[in-house]
Chain A
Amino acid sequence: MSETRFSSREIVRIDFRSNVQHVPPHMPPSVQKATTKFLGTRASVVDLVGDEQWQTLRQAGHDLRLHTITHLDYYLEMLEENVTKAGGHVHWARDAEEARRIVLEIARGGSRNVKRAVKAKSMATEEIGLNHFLIDAGIQTLETDLGEFIIQLAGVGPSHIIVPAVHLTKEGIAALFREKLGVDAPTDPIQLAAIARAKLREEFLAADMGISGANFLVAETGTLVIVSNEGNGRMCTTLPPLHVAVVGIDKVVPDMESLNVLLKLLPRSATGQKMSAYTSFITGPRRTDAENGPQEFHLILLDNGRTRILQDEIARETLLCIRCGVCLNVCPVYNNVGGHAYGWAYSGPIGAILVPQLLGTEVAGDLPFASSLCGACAEYCPVKIPIPEILLRLRHRVVEGDPVGGPSASPLLRVAAEVGGRTLGQPWLYELGTQLLKVIQIPLRKDGWLPNLPPPLNRWTMSRPMPAFGADFRDWWRDRTPEGRQHNVARKIGLGALVVGLITLAAWLLARKKSR
């Protein structure tokens, strides 16, 4: 599934397990500015709801999504039945390749012969790499969400779930417009948006096919729900005679009432809005010729690894996600490396748990390590996904393997983890180790710091010095009582003798080896 990877140009993918010292050199300040602003507007609308009510809503959102995904087969069948009743066509795609093939078959099927497609913003189509595929097949495929339009021009993937071009400045975007569109573009966001509007108007009117994703699929009514702000989503699903939606099977909700909760949580968490400008509810194609809307509607239900995620009782909560992106905004790692460092369509904490499960830990096994486990993501998540717990679960899978996936870490790491675990499990061995380190560090020590460690530990010291091993908490604690002090003295004599003994032994062995 490497086709879901972005083109490598301009992108510095970080290997979060082996390479912690290379923060992207051009990490733009616009990212942190944007995430800070998002969090500010979110806080003000959440405050209006009131903390108690907000927590009730989050719990309701969690329970609702969990109920749905733990009865997913039932709701998917209900959805299929109702979309079909409404005159829509339902397709099932096991993986990205199958989903792309189905879209192309629809575009070329019957008398259709689609030449131009317009796209609404959709993470599922980013995930399956649909644009490149359709363009290679000779169908002009154009992103119409402003942010997606910009990154399509730039030839890169999204760096944020909600604001895909957040890594670019207005100067960069103006330069891109001048280069790719051949227009005189000023560095003013409002005028840049106007240029995109004018360019895309004609495309909406001329397109033969509209492609979208969905925020929710309502099983009870067979309804596709699209939350958007610009109006391009409405254009793509109203103007072309054919509408094709590609949606992950995890997006189902039982009924309209479910949206009472989810439509309160999503816009507030994502953009700090009480409601997004447009929330469209689409059930099948248009019902009469006198109405606007497409004559034909196709829904492609995408698995692409989601059924595998369901297998693990803890990690399956990943599928509760409603793609609001708030976990990116609060994540200290995302804020320092940006979305492209994750190397896949989904970034930030949700990307760190979703991608290794979608693609397998052997492909993206470093992503669960892209976290300090600070827990901010779980605190902000509107559907209470226990992201830190799932990160640990996946780290475990990477190193030791579990029923869902075999270990993918190098044997060396596994041995190191094993040795570390045993040492920490034996107090005497641990104490001996700490005393030994105090001696071994002497030649490396400088003003209370260890500025340069030998390889492979130099990976740490290349980016920051290591504090020297010094005071010992357990010593200090025991020193507070007379018995403890006695114990400390005895222990120090014992350990000192042991350390001296070990060093003497080592020196003797070394001398013997040399004299041979």
Chain B
Amino acid sequence: MRYFALHQDVYFETGASGGALYDFMSRRVEPLSPADTAILEQLERAVPVDDVPGAGPLVRRLCDQKLGTRCATPTRRDRYMPVLKLKMSGLVEPPLVIGVLHLSLTASCTLSCTGCGDTAGAVWQGCNGCARWPGVRRDAAWTHGAIDQFFDDLGALDIRNVFFSGGDPLAELDLLDHAVRRLRQRTKPPGIIVTTNGTAVTPAVLDWVAENGVKLNFVLLGESAADYQRACGDAGAFEAVMEALGAAQLRSIPFNVALRLDGDGDGAAATARRRQWASTLGAQRVFGFETLRVQDDGGVAPAAWMATTGPARVPQVGPEQFFLRRDQHPCLSGTIAVGADLSARPCPMLEDRDFGHVGLTPLRTLLGQRRHERWWQLTKADIPGCSACEFRYACADCAAVDLAKRRQPALHAAVCSYDPARASWRQ
């Protein structure tokens, strides 16, 4: 009698219909048809190969691909990282690490983009863009006193990175400077990233950036003056931003670029061209983001990057990402956001998930109330539209879209072309 066993570093995940094999050695994700998934489910339950109709070809293929092996006896395969649900709280509370603290000190900005702060749609992969903090009034801002109180209250919380965004943080440089000084005084200073549209980046600002070890994240509204005219009505801003980028390069100041991909509906080729252009700007990393708008008929135009579809869209994944995504959401876990109105949320884009007001209740106290925990423990299995998908641990898609806009299911379809119920890709 012969049995089949997947290698221990190959994980089998099932979806509503199909399945997928996550091979940690090669980091690839192998899709399985519904029929093969049903066969493999039986083989995984230690049913002999000969007793499963149609198993022979699948077993041969998986052995040839070095995903598993034939064996004489069914054996227990120990999981690389098992899920053991233990109540680790109170005395055995694990260390609290805030991986990313998003801070918006001011909602004001040097530009006036159409749709900025719009709560009707959703920002897709907007973490690195500026079109976030929906629902915050444009005149909201911190004071020096509020900044001092906030940092006094932080105590010894372990904060690894602080992302400043706005509005544009450089629109009120004195507030930003004050906050950065307080951060640098901490026993373990965090990494600091400032997201800016670049129009207020002067030589003096770059001196300040270099002096404080700050990294810049430039948000670009397009690749031309025409794009800027269309996005914010200020064609001249494009030139100012290009100058700022050049000056940062000259001074060897590290920066990222976040490129807005939506706006003119000019198709996949234009999106690819823009990404290519952005990659020539000397940035360490290039991100893309776009705003998805709900149309009058309730539909949402597909995101620009959805031009390609099919299994090729499933990214490679290693064990580190796999277990991170299985056990928690990669961006919501360890993240706290505090807006210009001093309200704390799980992420800058979740405008209606308020934890509390840090001016009234210290952040430490809010954390002690455990209101963030639901978000930190969230996994793809908790997210509608993702929970039944076999690729959920390979996919790094933004959960905020689904979570914040549950009454607009078209948003999910706008960013994902896989249908787990049919195990097929939509065109």
| A in complex with B | no
Question: Could you list which residues of chain B lie within 8 angstroms of chain A, going by C-beta atoms?
Answer: none
